């Protein structure tokens, strides 16, 4: 039996494993120059170099350290809302970012229970998009299991948590549902400055919603600042 399976047997051992994951495996006590998978956070920090504090919204936040596009902002003094469909992710955020709002949700339409397709509790490809799951099942989902998670409109989440006036930076990484989430945002009302969103696959191929994403940003007078790996940064003109 693997170390991970042993730790997941009880609430106490699960908590120990979270601490192990953060402070032993990912060395949370050590500061780094970058946490992003493709160096996105370096350009994000440069963009906000004159802003010592601000608010971020991280949808599909995955991990407070690993592949995080908001960790450097958090270390700088920013706070925000972190949303993910994996409760384990939220448990990790509650430990390292207790002053943030950390929520286990799917961004969707009406409030209801939806299936989430898990590769593992610590996998970056867990998804609520059934089509994405079927397309990538053979490659990623080796130990798959399904859990129900509540979906909720993004605007309702923002209103309930009294974050509806100004969000400086938004990060969206939701494995096949990026455009669906993007559609729920009013960038003008929220006075957003910068958005990071996946527009390509790792192979370099454009996602199915690539043109829709571009048109959405044009509507709000945003333009492409930079592409890093599968991620594109869009800034306000």
DSSP 158-220: HHHTT--S--SEEEE--TT-HHHHHTT--TTTTT--EEEEE-B-TTSPBPTTHHHHHHHHHHT
Q: Is the pLDDT at 89 greater than 90, yes or no?
A: yes
pLDDT of residue 111: 76
Which of the residue ranges 78-87, 129-138, 212-221 would you say has the lowest mean pLDDT?
129-138
Cβ proximity of 7 and 37 under 8 Å:
no
pLDDT average, residue stretch 83-111: 92
Using alpha carbons, list the distances in angstroms from residue 128 to 106, 111, 147, 172, 175: 8, 14, 10, 14, 8
CA distance 152 to 59: 13
Confidence of residue 134 (pLDDT cuts 50, 70, 90): low
Q: Show the tokens assigned to 208.
A: 């199915």
Q: Is the pLDDT at 205 greater than 60, yes or no?
A: yes
Q: For the chain, what is the mean pLDDT?
A: 88
pLDDT of residue 1: 45
Better pLDDT: 128 or 103: 103
Confidence of residue 139 (pLDDT cuts 50, 70, 90): low
Instruction: Note the pLDDT tens digit of each residue in 183-198.
Output: 999 999 999 999 999 9
Confidence of residue 163 (pLDDT cuts 50, 70, 90): confident
Cβ proximity of 57 and 169 under 8 Å:
yes
CA distance 217 to 78: 25
pLDDT of residue 118: 74
- Backbone CA torsion sign across 136, 138, 141, 144: positive
pLDDT > 70: what percent of the chain?
86
pLDDT of residue 141: 54
pLDDT of residue 114: 74
- Backbone CA torsion sign across 98, 108, 61, 86: positive
Better pLDDT: 128 or 155: 155
pLDDT of residue 10: 82
């Amino acid at each position: 039996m693997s170390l991970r399976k042993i730790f997941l047997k009880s609430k106490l051992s699960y908590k120990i494993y979270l601490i192990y994951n953060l402070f032993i495996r990912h060395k949370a006590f050590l500061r780094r120059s970058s946490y992003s998978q493709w160096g996105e956070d370096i350009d994000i920090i440069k963009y906000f170099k004159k802003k010592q504090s601000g608010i971020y919204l991280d949808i599909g936040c995955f991990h407070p350290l690993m592949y995080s596009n908001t960790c450097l902002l958090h270390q700088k003094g920013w706070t925000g809302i972190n949303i993910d469909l994996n409760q384990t992710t939220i448990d990790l955020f509650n430990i390292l970012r207790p002053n943030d709002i950390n929520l286990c949700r799917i961004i969707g339409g009406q409030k209801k229970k939806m299936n989430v397709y898990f590769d593992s509790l610590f996998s970056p490809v867990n998804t609520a998009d059934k089509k994405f799951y079927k397309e990538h099942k053979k490659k990623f989902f080796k130990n798959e299991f399904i859990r129900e998670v509540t979906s909720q409109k993004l605007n309702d989440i923002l209103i309930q948590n009294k974050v509806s006036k100004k969000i400086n930076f938004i990060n969206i990484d939701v494995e096949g549902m990026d455009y669906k989430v993007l559609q729920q945002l009013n960038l003008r009302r929220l006075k957003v400055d910068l958005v990071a969103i996946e527009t390509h696959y790792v192979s370099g191929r454009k996602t199915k919603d690539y043109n829709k994403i571009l048109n959405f940003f044009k509507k709000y007078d945003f333009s492409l600042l930079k592409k890093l790996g599968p991620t594109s940064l869009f800034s306000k003109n």
